[in-house]
Structure 1
């Protein structure tokens, strides 16, 4: 490394409480060296904690500010910021919480929901498919039609009553006690207009969205669903889902193979 790169690396090591000799490179004068370095040391942590608090608002409320700050400060040591933008600093926070607190999966799931909603909020824009667009398609187009999901599309699989906890926190109510669900719950997250939304999914809709995400044509998707859910009226179910997705602005555009 160059002398400048070495100095920068030692300054970062100082901020992260790692062994270094950075203080020896600081010029004397005015405020003492240790006091001056302490200002940067604290400011660095405070800014990153603020970033996590902004990204994980409901998780902050759930844990309490002091407890969350303690977790955030431990996280920033384990996962130093590596991106030019602070927007991505908290990306590993839910997984890190899951490993750090395996006995409290509700905390990691709540954080994952916070992060997914933030991601949906500032995802790239995309054209929204409308009912008029569908109505304008010729009948023969449906044999090869492929629908695309928008950049804001996210999915989570939850094992606890995390949605109920999030909703209570969002209404400034006392959240229910964390409870394991009888089965895993698929959750859809996306942006409608300028606001992020989420809702739970049934098995058939979850499978249908998986097919769309995998690039299946609508016709092939219907065939797959018929095989997987032989007891269901797939023609009716698929029509209802398509209408709902269009109303919810969940399809970004259509193409033909």
Structure 2
């Protein structure tokens, strides 16, 4: 290892991890490192604010900064792009104490924020059109395998946070108005669907049947198996195929499937 590379690594460790500098980086030069350390940490906390806008509003500036700094200490940034700093925040919050996470529903706020950012940044792909399916013959449907668009994400939430999330998302704290009164998140385990269509992110809560069908699609189950899954969920074999067709029509309209 060259001396220059070694010094670069020592400088990075001193700024990122607070390691004691050595060699040419020691002495009076070490005093200046505090400026870089502060700027580095502040920039990463600011990146968390960008990635978790609604969570930040739910917590408030001071509490969110404390959470961000605790997360940075526990899980330092290792990704070359600052965009991905914070990908483990929800998991970190699930294990944190009440001093950082005063209500368990805040974990779901983090999960929803991150899923929406992920959907926005997901790869492009052509969507499946109704005309493509209309061209299929009767014998083609049973073995038909559908594919989710890259932007589609399904995340498990423990609380019904969506009403409160929407209020906070529409709130503009820069206007000087106080935080609006929030609907109380009540325990409600369910699946949230997140996706991107025409450059905008969307979300909606899923009923158990649609959640099960989308899981089957993600598992590459053929159309015949989707109908079997629907029959099991509904307890009615005759209602299964019509229910799958209704779901399929909505998926096509929302752009959830790729060609």
The reply to whether residue 104 of structure 1 matches residue 109 of structure 2 is no
Q: 1-side partners of 2:26 and 2:159: how far apart?
A: 55
CA contact (8 A) 2:226 2:244 kept: no
CA deviations on 1:30-52 (whole Å, 9 max, x unpaired) are xx534421221111112111111
The reply to whether residue 82 of structure 1 matches residue 88 of structure 2 is no
Equivalent position of 1:247 in the other structure:
253
CA contact (8 A) 2:105 2:161 kept: yes
CA contact (8 A) 1:106 1:178 kept: no
Match of 1:95 among 91, 94, 101: 91
Equivalent position of 1:115 in the other structure:
114
Match of 1:46 among 42, 50, 57: 42
CA contact (8 A) 1:160 1:178 kept: no
CA contact (8 A) 2:128 2:252 kept: yes
Match of 1:56 among 52, 57, 71: 52
The reply to whether residue 164 of structure 1 matches residue 163 of structure 2 is yes
Q: Shift in Å at residue 231 of structure 1?
A: 3.3
Match of 2:244 among 238, 247, 252: 238
Equivalent position of 1:10 in the other structure:
10
User: CA distance change for structure 1 residues 101 and 199 in 2, over 3 Å: closer, same or farther?
Assistant: farther
Q: Shift in Å at residue 156 of structure 1?
A: 1.5
In structure 2, list runs of 5 or more residues that go unmatched. Answer: 172-178
Q: 2-side partners of 1:162 and 1:228: how far apart?
A: 25
Q: Shift in Å at residue 180 of structure 1?
A: 2.9
Q: 2-side partners of 1:17 and 1:190: how far apart?
A: 36
Equivalent position of 1:201 in the other structure:
206
Equivalent position of 1:20 in the other structure:
20
CA contact (8 A) 2:230 2:241 kept: no
Match of 2:186 among 162, 180, 189: 180
Q: Which moved more, 1:112-121 or 1:156-165?
A: 156-165
Two-structure CA RMSD over aligned residues (Å): 2.1
User: CA distance change for structure 1 residues 119 and 208 in 2, over 3 Å: closer, same or farther?
Assistant: same
Q: Normalised by the size of structure 1, how large is the TM-score?
A: 0.88
SS in 1 for 2:141: helix
Equivalent position of 2:227 in the other structure:
222
SS in 2 for 1:145: coil
SS in 2 for 1:147: coil
CA deviations on 1:49-96 (whole Å, 9 max, x unpaired) are 111111111111111112111211121121111111112111011111
Number of matched pairs: 248
CA contact (8 A) 2:71 2:89 kept: yes
Q: Which moved more, 1:134-143 or 1:196-205?
A: 134-143
Q: Which moved more, 1:118-127 or 1:7-16?
A: 7-16
Q: Normalised by the size of structure 2, how large is the TM-score?
A: 0.87
Equivalent position of 2:175 in the other structure:
none
SS in 2 for 1:186: strand
Q: Shift in Å at residue 169 of structure 1?
A: 0.5
